[in-house]
Structure 1
Amino acid sequence: MSPVLIACLLLGGLLLFGVPVAFSLAVAGAVGLFMIGGWDSLVGILETTTLSSVSAYELVSIPMFILMAEFVILSGIANGLFEAAALWVGRIRGGLAMATALAGAGFGAISGSSTASAATLASTSLPAMLRQGYDPRLASGVVAISGTLAMLIPPSVALVLYGVIADISVGKLLIAGVIPGLIVTLAIMLTVYVIVLFDPKAAPTAVSVPWRAKLASLKELGPMLLLFGLITVCIYTGLSTPTEASAIGALGALGLAVRSGNFSLTAFMSACSRSARTTCMILLIIVGAHIFGYFFTLTRTTYSIVTWVSALPLDPFVILAIILFGYIVLGCVMDQAAILILTVPVVLPVIKALGFDPVWFGVMVVVTAELGMVTPPVGLNVFVVSKTTGMPLGTVFHGVWPHVVAHILILVLLTVVPGLVMWLPSNMQ
């Protein structure tokens, strides 16, 4: 049995038995390296991998964006976002569900954390919808899918990870997510509209709100729009790198937390502690993936895969569809950070050989990863919504299926019209 097959089977077995992804990758890679190079080769790689794999300057933006998300949660701004959005679209049948999508986009624009966004929306918008008489499936489904917008709309930890792994501009990737993020937001709202069009009982209508109240609600959106605009403009115009912009965002979110009156030393330390734990988890996965990646490189596995795929008598778009379907399947059972770190070094050379742009593909991967956050058997956002609200898992999974179909249609649209992804980054300074 070849070392590659043994290492892959070992990796699959460790993951199956619940061993953390970082340690599964490290152990499987170490065993493979020992089999092909012996003890000296293994020790030499382990001595250098830990530092070299996490020393990229761009990785500093990950703890900053995570910390920004924690401070935004502390500020309580998500409550204001949902209430303001509800005032503007709440009169429409299904308006509160549409407001949840808008609040998810707004929260994602200043957090970058999908699970944090889902948990916050579950504790704010979901109870409001249930009080209004919304179908629990519609309400919980739109909350779960709206949380995924944080993966795409900048700042996005997933896009930062992809950029670092693929060695391409993180700034272009973050800006490339803006238009697709808006499209996904509109698609969620349109899906809600179609659902209530065919089933009016799923969502009631609401009373109209005076314009004075609508305009007054914009005060709640001001700080969020300012912070999001500052980060995006700094990256787009080249005034700062994504890493510097992430630090600006964290400082701005800290200011929002202080302004809200919820700030305390205990809350500050708790936010920093959670950010540190999440960052350490991601960095450990990166280290483990690099150990496994060295093994793949030394065995020329990546080269063999690229050569084999390039020789397939299939249209490049068919191969792309197969790859994206693989990402959906992986997203059902694995953490998105682990998927990116494990697959991008292998898949990206294939994508380049097929003639696709790596920036465009990065956005496609993240949109696909959004599906993995809401599809069984894992569906992390579904579990977050269920745990936060006590809603049965089956109810939430049933509610997200119309949005899964809409996401697949968006993938088709972005494939047919790649300019929707590439127009903004191609005009960056």
Structure 2
Amino acid sequence: MIGVAFVVLIVLMLLSIPIAATLMGLGLFLGETYSRFPLHRALGEVLWSASDSFLLIAIPLFILLGELLVRSGIARMTYQALEAWLSWLPGGLLHANIGTATFFSATSGSSVATAATVGTVAMPQARALGYDERLFAGSIAAGGTLGIMIPPSINLIVYGFMTETSIPRLFIAGIMPGTLLALMFIAGTAALCTLRPEWGGPRRTHSWAARARGLAALAPMFGLFALIIGSIYTGWATPTEAAAVGVLAALGIAQATRTLSISMLRGAILGTMRTTAMIMLIITSAYFLNFVLSAVGATQALSRLVTQSGFSPLATMLLIVGIYVILGFFIETLSLMVITVPVIEPVVVSLGYDPIWFGVMLILLIEMALITPPVGLNLYVVQGVRGRGAFSDVIMGSIPYVLIMLLMAGLLLVFPGIALFLPNAMN
């Protein structure tokens, strides 16, 4: 039945039916076909239980926080500050792209918003200074993926909600892998631009006075990250309450930078409403589909099949990684997560893997889906900001970063402590 469900899912998506309608329709179809009981009668109760959670309030709050930061000019200040510190490296401003994405990820929680913001600020520099636009665009698209790894992450909140896993532990588990991945992006970029200097554009040095001013410009981002994460881990606030505190702080920053206005607030609130509605519709539809799969025994059957297959846990995990890489070519990231997590996570846990570790590995794999065609959203966002040239340029520029992500996945498999060290230390 899992095979039938997957085939129907792919067919409906190829017909360009919205993913929420696809998930709901598939749940109704499987319930009527494979169950003796009228599962559709539980639709109202299931949807209510899926959305009746205080934790989910954090999603619109973190989205609003990102919207406010986009409109307050903080991203441009961060980019200029990191340019002063990083542009002496081989690759020049490519490192500022990755660094700005890393800092912005630590407050926005959204990869697409990160890529769009950094692209808007950085892309004119590529044209003015003669950078290779393929690698320049690829660095922005790849840097943007960090938005769902480095806390606060909307996708980690959704994963924690669906698997009943601690959100604070997931947040802190994402810090080391997200930071290491950003450093690997920077190291890989420097290596490429050392081998091919013409890809990296001019290397520029700045005075220590300019760098000191840059540190002052980074203070709002440092302060927001410390406020949000610190309030969670000191026990002063839950993730939802920390998101609300972050929104208040972002409003204060916007007021300080004199960008706060009625029109700015209106745009931020409308953007938040649109994104939240999309996410919640997908979550509730997937919740009903997962309820049906569990009710008809599909989840339990898959778990038994895997545990009795005779494969080692590592071989099974490698197979799961390969499946996610392939599915990431065709399915949007949030949809991919909510479709697969309720089925795959119990299997992974039954193999002896930590659900916190799997959450980080899952986020890394769906990060990769953001920069692999044909559905990679960050590729389209960066090309839209770029506004010229072939879409294939952005794809080609992202390939080195996809390879770095695969290397990172291998490191997580071999050294799970990369994700688990900080959560265990917090205990």
TM range (shorter): over 0.9
Deviations 1:2-54 (A, max 9, x none): 6x65544433221110111111010111122123446x723421121221111
Check if 1:220 corresponds to 2:217. yes
What is residue 14 of structure 1 aligned with on the other side?
12
Check if 1:110 corresponds to 2:107. yes
What is residue 398 of structure 1 aligned with on the other side?
396
Contact residue 130 and residue 139 of structure 1 kept, 8 A: no
Deviations 1:336-385 (A, max 9, x none): 11111111110011101110000000001001111100001111100000
Kindly tell me: are residues 130 and 361 of structure 1, through their superposed partners in 2, closer, same or farther at Cα, counting changes over 3 Å? Answer: same
Contact residue 26 and residue 289 of structure 2 kept, 8 A: yes
Distance 1:186 1:267 in 2: 34
Distance 1:173 1:193 in 2: 31
Distance 2:56 2:266 in 1: 22
- Secondary structure of the residue aligned to 1:53 is helix
- Secondary structure of the residue aligned to 1:410 is helix
Distance 1:61 1:164 in 2: 11
- Secondary structure of the residue aligned to 1:427 is helix
Tell me how far 1:281 sits from its aligned partner: 0.8
Letter of the 2:120 counterpart: S
**RMSD over equivalenced CA pairs, Å:** 1.5
Distance 1:12 1:335 in 2: 12
Bigger shift: 140-149 or 256-265? Answer: 256-265
Letter of the 1:409 counterpart: L
Distance 2:311 2:236 in 1: 44
What is residue 351 of structure 2 aligned with on the other side?
354
Kindly tell me: are residues 13 and 208 of structure 1, through their superposed partners in 2, closer, same or farther at Cα, counting changes over 3 Å? Answer: closer
Percent of matched pairs sharing the same residue: 35
Tell me how far 1:428 sits from its aligned partner: 2.4
Alignment counterpart, residue 47 of structure 1, candidates 41, 44, 47: 44
Letter of the 1:426 counterpart: N
What is residue 70 of structure 2 aligned with on the other side?
73
What is residue 188 of structure 1 aligned with on the other side?
185
Distance 1:184 1:130 in 2: 27
Distance 2:304 2:204 in 1: 62
Distance 2:204 2:351 in 1: 53
Contact residue 7 and residue 31 of structure 1 kept, 8 A: no
Check if 1:327 corresponds to 2:324. yes
Contact residue 30 and residue 292 of structure 2 kept, 8 A: yes
Contact residue 65 and residue 112 of structure 1 kept, 8 A: yes
Contact residue 92 and residue 204 of structure 2 kept, 8 A: no
What is the aligned residue count? Answer: 426
1:14-413 mapped onto 2 (5 Å cutoff): 14-37=12-35, 41-391=38-388, 392-413=390-411
Distance 2:33 2:309 in 1: 31
Contact residue 152 and residue 367 of structure 1 kept, 8 A: yes
In structure 2, stretches of 5+ residues that fail to align are: none
Deviations 1:251-277 (A, max 9, x none): 211222222222211221221111111
Q: Output the TM-score relative to the length of structure 2.
A: 0.96
Tell me how far 1:240 sits from its aligned partner: 1.4
Distance 1:269 1:305 in 2: 47
Distance 2:5 2:88 in 1: 57
Tell me how far 1:206 sits from its aligned partner: 2.8
- Secondary structure of the residue aligned to 1:405 is helix
In structure 1, stretches of 5+ residues that fail to align are: none
Deviations 1:125-157 (A, max 9, x none): 122133222111111110110011111011100
Tell me how far 1:241 sits from its aligned partner: 1.2
Bigger shift: 391-400 or 27-36? Answer: 27-36
Distance 1:10 1:89 in 2: 49
Kindly tell me: are residues 96 and 6 of structure 1, through their superposed partners in 2, closer, same or farther at Cα, counting changes over 3 Å? Answer: closer
Deviations 1:296-327 (A, max 9, x none): 11211111111111112222112111112211
Distance 2:338 2:200 in 1: 41
- Secondary structure of the residue aligned to 2:260 is coil
Distance 1:11 1:406 in 2: 30
